[in-house]
Amino acid sequence: MSAPSSGGASRDGYGKGLLRLSEDPRVVVLEADLGKSTKSCHFREKFPERTVSLGIAEQNMMLVAAGMASSGKVPFASTFAIFTERAFEQIRNGIARPGFAVHICGSHGGIHTGTDGSSAQSIEDLGIYRAIPKMTVIHPCDDISAEELTVQLLSLDGPSYMRTARNKTPRAYDEESVSKIKIGKGSVLSHGSDLAIVACGVMVHEAMNAAEVLSQKGVDCTVVDMHTIKPFDSQLMENIAKTCGCIVTAEDHSIIGGLGSSISEWAASNHPIPIEMVGVNDRFGESGGSSELMEELGLTSESIIQASLRAIKRKNTV
């Protein structure tokens, strides 16, 4: 795999995606004071008449979005990932239960968000939204895939949650490869038969780095960008489980409830194989620079490499 080119943050991709969606007059954007941060501000600048600013009141925003969806609009509502959680029950009861196509974007998710500290570092969002029936849950790894996936949200007929990251990540895609990604289908970034590393969000880049190191040790890895946590791509998982026989999951999220959990749930019933999970080990974060925090909490390529070696060892001793 070629070295990834530098890109923006996935939140930048969301902002660009909204602009592309503006061609559809049904699309409206809802903000809770954080448009400059989530990047919905670009839509607001161009389409103020289709942007609804609701202040620091996320619970209200979610039901306003539902009401607009019931009246023919396609709302995109964004705030920080952690503050969407404040309106969890509103999302559950007011949006998902009636099945409205309201698209919620939570930016600044994960430990990666850095210096703001643990109050801002949502590490449970993917898990809680995944538990809601009808919800599509997405966590893109770079700016251009975030843009593409944002545009694809328009074709969904139910609710979605997308987590984006505050900080820049290297691109895993280029203009051509990004055109092939699809909501609900994991993207295979590299093929190998010894081990599969299934990652999402900012950990995709770490997964690719780990795979490169592992290949030098003679371990051929499949690397998957599992940008869609739900619906679960069981077909892809079946293929890689058969080919590789063991899996490492990697996510900037608690190991409880997120990507690793979803794959473990699937594997337990369908294809029991060794799985090692790299993620936040049931603790809160703290303030610090993004990379030093990722190091502190073990969200690194090195952790993935160690987990990979454990997984392969388990596979070989089964």
Q: Which residues are catalytic?
A: 58
Binding residue (CB under 8 A) for another protein from 21, 29, 54, 146 = 54
Instruction: Answer yes or no whether residue 57 interacts with another protein by CB under 8 A.
Output: yes
Binding residue (CB under 8 A) for another protein from 67, 133, 272, 289 = 67
Cα dihedral across residues 84, 122, 163, 23: positive or negative: positive
Size of the site for another protein (CB under 8 A): 30
**In this structure, are residues 70 and 100 in contact, taking their beta carbons and an 8 Å threshold?**
yes
List, edge to edge, every strand of the sheet that includes 228-230. 51-53, 27-31, 74-80, 103-107, 160-163, 136-138, 228-230
Closer residue to another protein, CB minimum distance, 60 or 306: 60
Closer residue to another protein, CB minimum distance, 64 or 181: 64
Closer residue to another protein, CB minimum distance, 75 or 260: 75
Q: How far is the CB of 107 from another protein (least distance, A)?
A: 21
Instruction: Answer yes or no whether residue 265 interacts with another protein by CB under 8 A.
Output: no
Query: What is the identity of the amino acid at 282?
Result: D
Q: How far is the CB of 67 from another protein (least distance, A)?
A: 2
Piece of the chain touching another protein by CB under 8 A; list 62-70, 125-133, 135-143, 200-208: 62-70
Q: Measure the CA–CA gap between 108 and 298, rounded to whole angstroms.
A: 19
Binding residue (CB under 8 A) for another protein from 59, 239, 243, 264 = 59
* CA atoms within a 13 Å half-sphere pointing along the CA-CB vector of 132: 25
Q: Measure the CA–CA gap between 9 and 301, rounded to whole angstroms.
A: 19
First to last CA, the chain: 31
Instruction: Answer yes or no whether residue 48 interacts with another protein by CB under 8 A.
Output: no
Q: How far is the CB of 58 from another protein (least distance, A)?
A: 9
Instruction: Answer yes or no whether residue 60 interacts with another protein by CB under 8 A.
Output: yes
Binding residue (CB under 8 A) for another protein from 18, 19, 68, 198 = 68
**Per CB under 8 A, which of residues 69..98 are in contact with another protein?**
69-73, 75, 89-90, 93-94, 97-98
- Helix/strand/coil for 152: helix
**Token pair in block for residue 310:** 């454990």
Closer residue to another protein, CB minimum distance, 65 or 101: 65
CA distances from 90 to 18, 114, 131 (A): 23, 28, 14
Q: How far is the CB of 130 from another protein (least distance, A)?
A: 21
**Per CB under 8 A, which of residues 95..154 are in contact with another protein?**
97-99
Contacts (Cβ under 8 Å, ≥6 apart) of 173: 142, 144, 145, 181, 187
Instruction: Answer yes or no whether residue 52 interacts with another protein by CB under 8 A.
Output: yes
Q: How far is the CB of 89 from another protein (least distance, A)?
A: 6
**In this structure, are residues 162 and 29 in contact, taking their beta carbons and an 8 Å threshold?**
no
**In this structure, are residues 75 and 102 in contact, taking their beta carbons and an 8 Å threshold?**
yes
Residues that bind another protein (CB under 8 A): 28, 49-50, 52, 54-55, 57, 59-73, 75, 89-90, 93-94, 97-99
